[in-house]
Amino acid sequence: MSQLPETINAVIAREPGGPEVLQWVQRALPQPQAGEVLIRTAAAGVNRPDLMQRSGMPIPPDVTDVLGLEAAGTVVTVGSGVADFVPGDRVMALLNGGGYAEYCIAVAAHCLPVPDGLSLEDAAGVPEAAFTVWHNLFELGRLAAGDTVLIHGAASGVGSFAVQCAQAAGARVIATAGGARKIAALQALGVWRAVDRNQEDFVEVVNDCTAGRGVDVVLDNVGGPYVARNLAAMAQGGRHVSLSFLQGAKIELDLQLVMRKGLSLTSSTLRPKTSEEKARIALCIREHLLPWLAAGQVRPLIHGQLPLNQAVEAHRLLEANANIGKVLLTVETL
């Protein structure tokens, strides 16, 4: 193995602001502590929490200011107490930060082995989606075979991963997105019904598709006025799971409707979860989702790859909501 560098290239936000505040910097090579691994980064996923951090949202204490909450690459060194991985292993990892760099640190228990047949670059688009989808769609949403699920923002990285996992689990998927290109991508994924939010009312479509019964689960990243419409489209005993609130965090709720239908509303966000909770979710992903990835039933939908030094353009692309699937930053190390 070649000698490790003393310094590495990385990307930070020099101040709160737009994509232009992202800055190329040099940092000391991070060192893995007990229970951690050092990864030579092949690629890092770009996610909306990265945009929020760049815009000024505070990060947890004792977390690097280098952006990036997921990455894939090769294990270089391991800290004490790490038994599951050894140098040379191909891994994809949920990170506390630091993915936009040539090398990054990950908690070993938050790493997943990369299945054969999945490139390291594409694997970088898996962790954030897999952790989010398993916990929200399957644990909170209790999605099961035979259920019908409504997935909003389904052409996004997380949304497209959720679509494939729901189908692999035996559920029927009604998926929304905006524009002909995104609808075509959802149809290519084999959804039961793709709904163009710019042209159709998803509540009417759901009622037509389900003969008025409604959907069992809603996975919503829109919030705001969508929530009331989601509830109207839900079946008795339906589960509503909020991932984000792109159209507003405050809503008006018809409790009479919620009670009459016996609905439940829940939500979660990934970054603040404890290390132990993330490790638990990782074990569930190994058992339930990795076999689908290994079999090719589920694949991260990749919009495009940009070099790490073009992080500004990657953020602009995601901010414009122009992507179909994941946007990745690829890393070439000397």
CB 124 within 8 A of CB 43: yes
Residues 111 and 172 in one domain: no
Looking at the fold, whether 262 and 222 belong to one and the same domain comes out as: yes
| Whether 22 and 82 share a structural domain | yes
By residue range, what is the domain housing residue 43?
7-126+300-330
- The pair of structure tokens assigned to 12 is 């930070």
Domain containing residue 31: CATH number: 3.90.180.10
Q: Which of 141, 107, 130 is nearest to 32 (CA)?
A: 107
Q: What string of DSSP letters covers 161-179?
A: HHHHHHHHTT-EEEEEESS
Do 145 and 162 belong to one domain? Answer: yes
- pLDDT at residue 333, as a whole number: 55
Angle at alpha carbon of residue 174, lines to 176 and 268, rounded to 5°: 75
Q: Which residues pair with 193 in a beta bridge?
A: 174
**272 within some domain:** no
Q: Which of 46, 7, 41 shows the shortest CA–CA distance to 25?
A: 7
The answer as to whether 55 is a domain residue is: yes
- Which of residues 242, 267, 292 is at a domain's end? 267
Tokens at residue 161, please? 């991963």
In a domain, 63, yes or no: yes
Q: Answer yes or no: are the C-beta atoms of 113 and 89 closer than 8 Å.
A: yes
Same domain for 214 and 251: yes
Is residue 290 included in any domain, yes or no?
Answer: no
- One DSSP character per residue, 2-65 reads PPPPSEEEEEEESSSSSGGGEEEEEEEPP---TTEEEEEEEEEEE-HHHHHHHHTPPPPTT--S
* Nearest CA-CA partner of 172 in 142, 203, 151: 151
- Picking from 267, 287, 321, the residue at the C-terminal end of a domain is 267
C-alpha atoms less than 13 angstroms from C-alpha of 232 in its C-beta half-sphere: 11
Residues 34 and 145 placed together within one structural domain of the fold: no
Note whether 112 and 145 are same-domain residues.
no
pLDDT value, residue 334: 40
**Could you list the pLDDT tens digit for every one of the 334 residues in the chain?**
568 999 999 999 999 999 999 999 999 999 999 999 999 999 999 999 999 999 999 888 889 999 999 999 999 999 999 999 999 999 999 999 999 999 999 999 999 999 999 999 999 999 999 999 999 999 999 999 999 999 999 999 999 999 999 999 999 999 999 999 999 999 999 999 999 999 999 999 999 999 999 999 999 998 888 899 999 999 999 999 999 887 778 888 899 999 999 999 999 989 889 999 999 999 999 999 999 999 999 999 999 999 999 999 999 999 998 899 999 999 985 4
Of 247, 267, 287, the domain-final residue = 267
For residues 171 and 238, membership in a common domain is answered with yes
CA gap 101, 68 in Å, rounded: 8
Q: Are residues 173 and 78 in the same domain?
A: no
Do 93 and 140 sit in the same domain of this protein? no
Report the domain count for the chain. Answer: 2
Return d(Cα 282, Cα 279) in angstroms, integer.
5
Q: At what angle do helices 311-319 and 48-55 cross, to 10 degrees?
A: 110
Concatenate the DSSP letters of all residues of 101-140 into one string.
Answer: BSEEEEEGGGEEEPPTTS-HHHHTTSHHHHHHHIIIIIII
Buried-state track 215-227, b at ≥16 Cβ within 10 A, e below 16: bbbbbbbbbbebb
Residues 174, 88: Cα–Cα separation, whole Å: 41
Residue 280 domain flag = no
Same domain, 98 and 60: yes
**β 111-113/90-94 pair status:** antiparallel
Adjacent-strand bridge partners of 78: 37
Same domain flag for 109 and 23 = yes
Residue 227 lies in a domain: yes
